[in-house]
Structure 1
């Protein structure tokens, strides 16, 4: 994760994300930079538009939040229905027991 954070830091600072800059950020943060991991990350990020990825990542949790609220409301409705059902069941049982004394 440190490698990705370093790349994001360079991006937000407006610096070029290259091996030299990323290695400097990592070593300044106290991380022993592995050249193979650096090269692998930089190779995988070649065709990635970081602004687009960040924009989509920021929008994803917002879209998921209403779904959780709906589930909570549905759960509450189900609980209320179950409570009513339990009450009506107990009323019916009381009525039956009065028949048999």
Structure 2
């Protein structure tokens, strides 16, 4: 993943995507660059419009986020219902003692 991040950083900074530039960014980040992986990524990105790819990719995570929040709310509501039922059972048992 750090190879993709290095490419995105170079692109955002306006730098040219070259093997040397990628290796320099990876080294500066504390990683040991693999020349084969650098070349493979550069070959894969050769005909890709990075700005367009970022625009289309940015839409997906935003749409997925609310589903997780809704599940958490449902789980909390279910927990409250179970706790209320336990409390009702407990108080019903106490009422029979003084009956």
- Relative to the length of structure 2, the TM-score reads 0.66
Q: Cα–Cα, structure 1 residues 59 and 90, in superposed 2: closer, same or farther, change >3 Å?
A: same
Q: Which residue matches 1:65?
A: 65
Q: Secondary structure at the match of 2:15?
A: coil
Could you say what secondary structure the match of 2:58 adopts?
Answer: helix
Q: 1:2–1:71: structure 2 CA closer, same or farther, 3 Å change rule?
A: closer
Distance in 2, matches of 1:47 and 1:38, equals: 16
The yes-or-no answer on 1:4 pairing with 2:35 is: no
Q: Structure 2 unaligned segments of length 5 or more: list them.
A: none
Q: Which residue matches 1:18?
A: 18
Judging changes above 3 Å, is the alpha-carbon distance between structure 1 residues 83 and 18 closer, same or farther for their aligned structure 2 residues?
same
CA RMSD of aligned residues (A): 2.9
Relative to structure 1, the CA distance from residue 19 to residue 75 in structure 2 (aligned partners, 3 Å threshold; closer, same or farther) is same
CA gap of 1:52–1:95, structure 2 versus 1, over 3 A, is same
> Structure 1 residues 35 and 76 mapped into 2: Cα distance closer, same or farther (>3 Å)?
closer
Query: 1:25 offset after TM fit, Å?
Result: 4.0
- Count of aligned positions: 98
Paired position in structure 1 for 2:80: 80
Unmatched segments (≥5 aa) in structure 1: none
